[in-house]
Chains A and B, each alone.
Chain A
Amino acid sequence: MFWQGMSIVIDNKIILPGVNDVFLLLKNPTMSMIGMGSLVDNLTISLIRVLTGYTAAVLLAIPLGMLMGYSKTIFSLFHYFLGLFRPIPPLAWVPLMLAWFGVSSLAMFYPVQSGQIYIYLRNIQISMVVIIFIGAFFPILLSTIYGVQNVRKTLIESARTLGGNEFNIFTKILIPASAPSIVNGMRIGLGVAWMCLVSAEMLPGSISGVGYLIIHAYTVARTDVVIAGMISIGIVGVMLDSVFKSIEVKKFSWQSKYR
């Protein structure tokens, strides 16, 4: 209401478009706009990029975090090295990533230079995947380490006296006991990854994705597209988060009642 009121007062679509203009765009998400494909197309591309980098981060951060949480030797081995990289904002890596990887994409590794898959892979730039990876990696790693370090010692020791070997202790004690913390880290990591991506897409070298759509819409003075893009980023973010929320509620109800 305030928004609609303000847009009538301002009466300039470039500064503040009307609510109905934006909602028209959101209501027809498959409609192609400003020569860049539809909202859904761009969101899909962005999502694929995020999930690629995010999956890599999950696959690396969880095992490393488990080992670092469990063994003091491994912890001290990586702690300072990783501690140095952690405070660097993921976006600060962008220039370096562009210098290293340029616009090369995952299609580089695909044998055939044509077909649907090739086109998709062309859109997953290595530089962006790496930036998402960096953004998601640290929250997941830290919560995994924290989760494992905080497993009650008695649980591990009682498993040992019951005849459990190291492998048993990892799979039956450490993983389930630290799972709530790990999933929480994955949830934060996905949020960070999504934010990093959209920002990364706004930087030079990008030719698609919602972030790029917003920047491009800005340069052609389509503020309604900018706002529609922002809202859709928010909606997808909430949807991704709710996936994790439901896992937490379903699987880890024991945690809140645990003394």
Chain B
Amino acid sequence: MNSTILNIEKLNKIFVTDKKQSVQALKDINLDVYNNDFVCILGPSGCGKSTLLRIVAGLENTYNGSVRHKNKPLLSSHQEIGMVFQEYSLLPWRTVISNVVLGLEFLGVRKKERIQTGMKYLSMVGLEKYAQSYPYELSGGMQQRVAIARSLANDPDMLLMDEPFGALDAHTRIILQKELLKIWNKNRKTVLFVTHSVDESIYLADRIIVMSSGPGQILEEISVEMERPRERSNPEYGRLTTKILEMLDIQGR
């Protein structure tokens, strides 16, 4: 077994609405993520899966419980944990390449080196031709690939992805899932991937964390043992899909 990179214990998160009502978004979350793991967090909308990811990203700072990254308590965002958002998060006034090197700029890397590293990751996602284009000249799928390259350019040891393909059409989505696995194979970063698509989680993950809503808690952890690349026609694929859908359905009732 690999070493633990992220350790979450007894995590509780309560939101207070504008009307001063409190809503429990996360309840007693315990989760260990190991190095080089591909973990999907799956659940219906409103189950707090995005909140969980935002806490790990250091974007939510008020919670109870312990969140430790490489055995150190997580206090704020830092470049070792990268994040890809669902909405387009590229800076529209910058070209693609200068978007990719944004994190390196923050780190104070010299310009020549920045561009070199940036181009390396840009060609990893197959977009080196578009280095001098602006984000609005790219399709949604291409923009998300740039966002992935941007996160990777920082060389984080963990990559958080918050429904990164949620806004894309089904076809583009499947292509990007394939590409993501290819990239992951090359880098072997730990990936924590939030989705509400059962299919997506089975296709991608080593482990699927199934969550339920109101309050958000972990229902079950499922290991996916199938060899990659996974075939959607594989009977095991169907069996898992049914199993997870049933699990979520009981919750829905």
Contact = CB atoms under 8 A, between A and B. Distances in A.
B106 A158 contact: no
Contact of B59 (A157, A164, A173, A255): A157
A161 interface: yes
Interface stretch (B27-35, B87-95, B168-176, B210-218): B87-95
A47 B89 CA distance: 43
Nearest to A154: B89
B161 to A, nearest CB: 11
B134 A172 contact: no
A250 interface: no
A254 interface: yes
A161 B93 contact: no
A255 B91 CA distance: 11
Interface string A210-247: 00000000000000000000000000000000000000
A163 B87 contact: no
Nearest to A255: B92
B58 A258 contact: no
B101 to A, nearest CB: 10
Interface residues of B, number: 28
B66 interface: no
B97 to A, nearest CB: 15
Contact of A161 (B59, B91, B107, B134): B59
A248 to B, nearest CB: 13
B81 interface: yes
Given A158-B89, A160-B77, A257 B57 contact: no
Given A161-B57, A168-B106, A155 B136 contact: no
Given A177-B91, A257-B136, A159 B59 contact: no
Contacts of B244: none
A170 to B, nearest CB: 12
B78 interface: yes
Interface string B47-83: 0000000000111000000000000000001110111
Tell which of A161, A164, A168, A177 has the most Cβ of chain B within 10 Å: A161
A76 interface: no
A118 B83 CA distance: 59
A162 B150 contact: yes
A90 B102 CA distance: 43
A161 B77 contact: yes
A168 B93 CA distance: 16
Contacts, number: 74
B85 interface: yes
B190 interface: no
A259 B136 contact: yes
Nearest to A256: B136
Contacts of B105: 168, 172
A172 B108 CA distance: 13
Contacts of B102: 159, 162, 164, 172
A254 B79 contact: no
B59 A254 contact: no
A165 interface: yes
Contacts of A157: 57, 59, 83, 85, 89
A176 B94 CA distance: 10
B154 interface: yes
A162 B136 contact: no
B43 interface: no
Contacts of A162: 79, 82, 102-103, 106, 150-151, 154
A157 B85 CA distance: 9
**What are the 8 A-B residue pairs with the smallest beta carbon separation, nearest first?**
A163-B79, A162-B103, A158-B89, A161-B83, A257-B136, A258-B92, A160-B77, A154-B89
